[in-house]
Amino acid sequence: QVQLVESGGGLVQAGGSLRLSCADSGRTFSVLTMGWFRQAPGKEREFVAAISWSRGSTNYADSVKGRFTISRDNAKNTVYLQMNSLKPEDTAVYYCAAKRTVLVGATGYDYWGQGTQITVSS
């Protein structure tokens, strides 16, 4: 079974950096793409980034492009989100997600982690 566990959340000052990790302890061949989403208070869930396990193809939301980097370690079944130049508007609960297609878009995710809080202070 697929089990997604996020880690690395916390409080950081604006301009700082954090790295999130998502371990798929139950990874199977059916999971082909991993993604990150976030949800800020009073806002809808927002796509952040995605990566395919096989080729490492990536996709980023315009709001984080150039600041965030998604990567994966296939041997560890772990995906990372390196977040640099953080802004207060990045404050949100960040969720790891997985899906059974190779398309690195914002839809079609089948499995979700429980989320981790990121707070960026001014």
pLDDT in tens, 99-114: 999 999 999 999 999 9
CB 83 within 8 A of CB 67: yes
Strands 10-13 and 116-121: parallel
The residue-averaged pLDDT of 3-19 equals 95
27 or 103, which is more confident = 103
75 or 46, which is more confident = 46
Burial of 45 (0-12, 13-18, 19+ CB in 10 A): middle
CB 115 within 8 A of CB 8: no
Judged against a pLDDT cut of 70, whether residue 95 lies above it is answered with yes
The pLDDT of residue 27:
60
Per-residue pLDDT tens over the stretch 44-74: 999 999 999 999 999 999 999 999 999 999 9
Could you tell me which of 55, 58, 2 has the C-alpha nearest to residue 30? 2
CB 83 within 8 A of CB 18: yes
Judged against a pLDDT cut of 90, whether residue 15 lies above it is answered with yes
